[in-house]
Amino acid sequence: MDAIAAAQALSEIGYLLRQNPKEVYRARAFSAAAWTLALERPNLDALFNDNKLTSIEGVGEGIAKVLAGLIETGQSTYLERLRAETGQPARDDESTIDLSAYQGDLHSHTDWSDGRATMLEMARGAKALGYKYLGVTDHSPRIKVVNGLDAERLLAQSREREQVEKEVEGLALLQGIEVDILEDGALDLPDAVLELLDVVIASPHVKLRQEPSAMTERMLRAVSNPNVDVIGHPTGRRPGSREGATYDFEKVFREAARHGVALEIDCDPARMDLSPEHARLALELGCTFAIDADAHAPAEFAYVPMGAWMARRAGIPMDRILNFKPLEALTMIAK
């Protein structure tokens, strides 16, 4: 069995377990094991034959049993049971996502804000995974606790970007920002700054409990800003701990489609936002998508299979997903 396929199954188990607050630890264990599989791609069949599945980091007896089932039958009775219990059976219109066709990732953080690695380390991680490009999108100034970047620091960061690009050959670093969507829908940096960047991800981080009508206006304003390329984790939800913002999803997604603004599927297992259900609605309304690891360290690029699983479940074809487009085809960069 392919390690990535197994990682997607474990991811789905982690995701479904997260629906139940009592299972949050078990959920984390499954998600963590999924990351290890995605990152290290062990030879599962060989390990299974040698009875050594538990030698994989984060794989205890319980997870090894699930893996053994997957390897032997291609399926997991545990996953089937969870799907039934949570009312989320497999759908027959799921799409096919080929992760080996993955060109890059638009959303990542470095130690310029709350990332735990340098830009060079992040770039090397992306390069090791075969990416052709990586968006460096640290936080904007409002997020003070994470040392968000103002125009001056963005300029300083762009010099480091040039250096790192020279050092890590074959990987394009996109100078970007994850700009906060303020309460009234304005963005946390002036348009004159945003205009200069390769990629602008606008995300809601605070005041997510606004009245739905105010939240709708806020999101509509963000979506119609011509500098915005992607709406990051569009609801701000944290499965198992925080419900996301509620707004007129249909109206906002429709506007996103009209403006050519992509919606993010944030792969961070603590977010998984958009949910497969919301992503399916967005798909029907004509939206494009960005599957982003939102990595704060190179190891977190391994979140991607989770996002891919969500896209699959939402039935999103690969041609609607920016990550599968070569750099030259990304219109946001070309503009």
State the minimum distance, in angstroms, from the CB of residue 166 to Zn ion.
26
CB of 257 within 8 A of CB of 286? yes
What does the per-residue mask of binding to Zn ion show for 292-311, with x meaning CB under 5 A? Answer: --x-----------------
H-assigned helices in 174-211: 191-194
Strands 199-203 and 172-180: parallel
Least Å distance, CB 233 to Zn ion, is 6
48's enclosing H/E stretch is helix 44-49
Q: How far apart are CA 44 and CA 37, in angstroms?
A: 9
Among the residue ranges 52-60, 111-119, 197-205, 302-310, the one whose residues contact Zn ion (CB under 5 A): 197-205
Angle of helix 276-284 relative to helix 304-313, nearest 10 degrees, comes to 50
- CB atoms closer than 10 angstroms to residue 287: 25
DSSP string, 211-271: -HHHHHHHHHHHHT-TT--EESSTT--BTTTB------HHHHHHHHHHHTPEEEEE--TTT
Q: Cβ of residue 115: shortest distance to Zn ion, in angstroms?
A: 9
Question: Shortest Cβ distance from residue 237 to Zn ion (Å)?
Answer: 12
* Nearer residue to Zn ion within complex by CB, 42 or 104: 104
Q: Strands across the sheet with 133-139, in order?
A: 104-105, 133-139, 172-180, 199-203, 230-231, 262-266, 289-292
Q: Mark the segment that binds Zn ion (CB under 5 A) among 9-17, 25-33, 202-210, 236-244.
A: 202-210
Half-sphere exposure of 240 (CA within 13 A, CB side): 19
Q: How far is the CB of 333 from Zn ion (least distance, A)?
A: 19
Tell the smallest beta-carbon distance from residue 188 to Zn ion (Å): 12
Query: In whole angstroms, how close is the CB of 180 to Zn ion at the nearest point?
Result: 8
Binding-site size for Zn ion (CB under 5 A) equals 3
List, in sequence order, every beta strand (DSSP E) within 150-228: 172-180, 199-203
State which residue, 26 or 238, has the beta carbon closest to Zn ion.
Answer: 238
178 binding Zn ion? (CB under 5 A):
yes
Binding part of the chain for Zn ion, among 55-63, 153-161, 198-206, 267-275 by CB under 5 A, reads 198-206
Residue number, 203 or 288, with CB nearest to Zn ion: 203
Query: Nearer Cβ to Zn ion, position 157 or 203?
Result: 203
- Least separation in angstroms between residue 284's CB and Zn ion is 25
Instruction: Determine if the peptide bond prior to 174 is cis (ω within 30°).
Output: no
Q: Which of residues 60-119 bind Zn ion (CB under 5 A)?
A: none
326: helix, strand or coil = coil
The H or E element containing residue 45 is: helix 44-49
Binding-residue pattern over the window 126 to 165 for Zn ion, x denoting contact by CB under 5 A: ----------------------------------------
Among the candidate windows 22-30, 111-119, 199-207, 307-315, which touches Zn ion by CB under 5 A?
Answer: 199-207
Q: Among residues 105 and 178, whose Cβ is nearest to Zn ion? A: 178
Binding site for Zn ion (CB under 5 A): 178, 203, 294
